[in-house]
Amino acid sequence: MYNMINAKKLPLFLFLLSWACKDPSAPSPVYPIPTERQLIWHKLEYYGFIHFNINTFTDMEWGKGDENPAIFDPSALDTRQWAKVAKEAGMKGLIITAKHHDGFCLWPSKYTEHSVKNSPWKDGNGDLIKELAESCKAEGIGLGIYYSPWDRNHADYGDEAYIDYMKNQLTELLSNYGELFEIWFDGANGGTGYYGGANEERKVDKRGYYPWESIYELVRKLQPNAVIFGDAGPDVRWVGNEEGHAYPSTWSNLMRDSVYAGMPEYSEKYARGQENGSHWVPAEADVSIRPGWYYHAYEDHKVKSLSHLLDIYYKSIGQNSALLINFPVDRRGLIHESDVDQIMKLSTKIKEDFEIDLIKNAKLVASNERGKGYEADKVLDNEWETYWATEDGVVNSSIEITYPQKIRFNRFLIQEFIALGQRVKSFSLEIQTDEGWQEIHQGTTIGAKSILRLDDHYTDKIRLSILDAKASPAISKVGVFDAPKLLVQPVIHRDKEGKVRMEIPESGVDIYYTLDGTIPSKSNGEQYTAPFILKNAGKITAISIDQNSDNSSETLTQNFDIAKSNWRVIHDDPNSINIIDDDPNTNWTNPKNEVSIDLGELIHITGFDYLPPQGRYFGGLIFKYKFSGSLDGKNWHDLAIGEFSNIHNNPIRQEVRFEKAQSRLIKLTSLETWDGTATQYAEIGVLTQE
Ligand code: FUL
């Protein structure tokens, strides 16, 4: 059933591919091998996710199912903006949450009232899936559908009748919106919910409740070109985490029959794929550009940084996986400006990294060649259907890449001709030096694509050796690149004792800094080589400079107040130290609403700051506060009373200034927390500068 071949509009490359596979001189496949629809999907590589439903309007991640459709009311919804962003970012498609766990439908389904048709959006006449389908078509990208099998709204969830509902809805989605490239079935299944008013917990047998075979058949019938995603595939599998990374050893082969959607041990046992897996079910890494899948204004300052996104790119696409990056569309119905900025930075950087393929200037010689049509130089082009292969039975083999003079490189890309199965189990990369060959990398799997991130290497000879494989290797592409350094501003940390550390994501980049506010450069400023102490208040201005090109990042200036080395929290809970450890990632929950800190000496203070907890799930943010000072711990003077008005939306560092006062002790009283729960803090500090 899964090998059904769709003869409709097969692209030329597939024609050539099947010709190549049928060539009697070609190596025999090593099973399992991909189906044609999987091969088409492999070419997509990078596409986007849209999470936008009723949760966007309740600030939740998992709606309960009892939400009123009347709250679904985007003010400026523009699906064309989503499609444009995806297209410009280099994504090949968008997958939309047509129905999430809460059951609210983004299309006017005939089978439920819980949909856009009962919302104020377009007076109930809107069809978001239709709009997105048109936008994707206009931008020339694909459309995919996320459909949650779990439905916390539907009265019949858990019964047979719900299965009919699911199939009816899928029939609508798969028939009315043109060609789809992927159908995404979420593995989260069963639990508490509204269920038409029952408000109870409904557990389902994850193995037996959904008749997957007949659901897949329905998908095949209505969307023969679409791949089906699920923990167990059948076509594309979950990568086992929501951080967007695959693994240094990632097989596209999976013991598919041992896996079912939502199985607890999936991530640990199956997500990496298996060398002896029975079916071709390649990995797809999903991750949100923010901590949440849905939009929360309080995460506006937590959009992933360029270095984080780039790391995700290399750890997914660079490790034999597709990459699915989520945009939590906001209440206007738009991809937020900050998310757009970050995704565009990523696409610019990827283009830069792979702009010039240095393999083009090299001469290639293989240790073994299968004969005409399988020569080493077949790895030069970007055509999947041409590849270098060795004779049957010859596994141990290599390709030498020779340049007329030394080159510098730091990325090495390899692709297997996966139409014949994933074959390589172990390989190495060497460069020739004055002392002979030097190994610079040992790897395991390659698969559809492997990209090695390396230090800068200078050489005129590179050797890729296949050390172990299931059968003679078939390599369709090798690439050599000299990616420009990622020149992001350094990250500066200072701990409680005043020790300053600076970090940057790449080697080959230096950090220069000044303490007098002037712009650092190689000639003006210190090079950062090791942590140093800064106990007093001060300003650090830092910059990253590429050793090769002398290009630099933007300058970063960070102000520090006095270090907290002599401070003591007056409380016997050992965790209370977390609020003065200068580590934003450690918190303390105070059973009382006030906390006092001994500063260890008399200090002139001009204000204070409060950093609320920075984790994904938090509460107890101080809304109304009082800040007091004391010379002796007995008599207290109120220095400031006020509120942090928008702290729940924007939980960043809050700074309050007041008339200069001398204090030995300080006290922060939480007069009211935002959600009424016990007060939480990441950090408390004082300001001493005017
Ligand atoms: C998970 C869901 O529970 C999340 O809400 C989100 O949709 C993510 C992509 O998949 O399983």
Which residue's C-alpha comes closest to atom 3 of ligand 1?
188
Query: What's phi and psi for 306, nearest 5 deg?
Result: -60, -40
Is the model's pLDDT at 656 over the cut of 80?
A: yes
Over range 655-660, report the average pLDDT.
95
Determine, yes or no, domain membership for 10: no
Using 50, 70 and 90 to split pLDDT, how confident is the model at 415?
very high
**What pLDDT score does 10 carry?**
47
Is the model's pLDDT at 432 over the cut of 80?
A: yes
**Where a domain ends, among 516, 534, 560?**
560
Is the model's pLDDT at 368 over the cut of 90?
A: yes
Determine, yes or no, domain membership for 182: yes
667 and 594 part of one domain = yes
Identify which of 293, 324, 616 to mutate to test ligand 1's pocket (most ligand atoms within 8 A of the CB).
293
Q: Are 94 and 141 in contact (CB under 8 A)?
A: yes
269 and 320 part of one domain = yes
466 and 527 part of one domain = no
Determine, yes or no, domain membership for 544: yes
Distances in Å between the Cα of 108 and the Cα atoms of 23, 122, 144, 164, 468 are: 50, 12, 18, 17, 54
**Where a domain ends, among 560, 576, 596?**
560
Q: Residue 469: give the domain boundaries.
A: 358-481
Question: Domains in the chain: how many in total?
Answer: 4
284 C-beta closer than 6 A to ligand 1 = no
Is the model's pLDDT at 424 over the cut of 80?
A: yes
345 and 368 part of one domain = no
Q: Report the separation in Å between the CA atom of 186 and the middle of ligand 1, taken as the mean of its atom positions.
A: 7
Determine, yes or no, domain membership for 677: yes
Over range 668-675, report the average pLDDT.
96
Q: Above pLDDT 90, what percent of the chain?
A: 90
Q: Is this structure's pTM higher than 0.85?
A: yes
Report the CATH number at residue 574: 2.60.120.260
Quickly tell me which residue has 């309050």 as its tokens: 656
Determine, yes or no, domain membership for 8: no
Tokens of residue 252, six digits: 């596209």
381 and 440 part of one domain = yes
Distances in Å between the Cα of 402 and the Cα atoms of 103, 360, 414, 432, 475 are: 59, 11, 17, 10, 18
Phi-psi region of 103 (alpha: psi -120 to 50; beta: other; left: phi over 0): left
Strand 46-51 versus strand 622-630 pairing type: unpaired
Closest by CA to 169, choosing from 227, 108, 122, 216, is 108
Determine, yes or no, domain membership for 672: yes
188 C-beta closer than 6 A to ligand 1 = yes
Hey, which bits of 118-225 come out as E strands? 142-147, 182-185, 191-193, 200-202
Which residues on neighbouring strands pair with residue 49, listed in sequence order? 95, 326
Is the model's pLDDT at 252 over the cut of 80?
A: yes
**What pLDDT score does 189 carry?**
80
Which residue's C-alpha comes closest to atom 6 of ligand 1?
293
**What pLDDT score does 9 carry?**
43
pLDDT tens string 584-630: 999 999 999 999 999 999 999 999 999 999 887 778 999 999 999 99
Report the CATH number at residue 141: 3.20.20.80
Over range 157-183, report the average pLDDT.
98
Residues 6+ apart with CB under 8 A from 102: 53, 54, 55, 62, 63, 64, 65, 67, 152, 153
Determine, yes or no, domain membership for 451: yes
Identify which of 53, 147, 186, 284 to mutate to test ligand 1's pocket (most ligand atoms within 8 A of the CB).
186
59 and 111 part of one domain = yes
**Where a domain ends, among 323, 353, 383?**
353
Is the model's pLDDT at 365 over the cut of 90?
A: yes
Is the model's pLDDT at 427 over the cut of 50?
A: yes
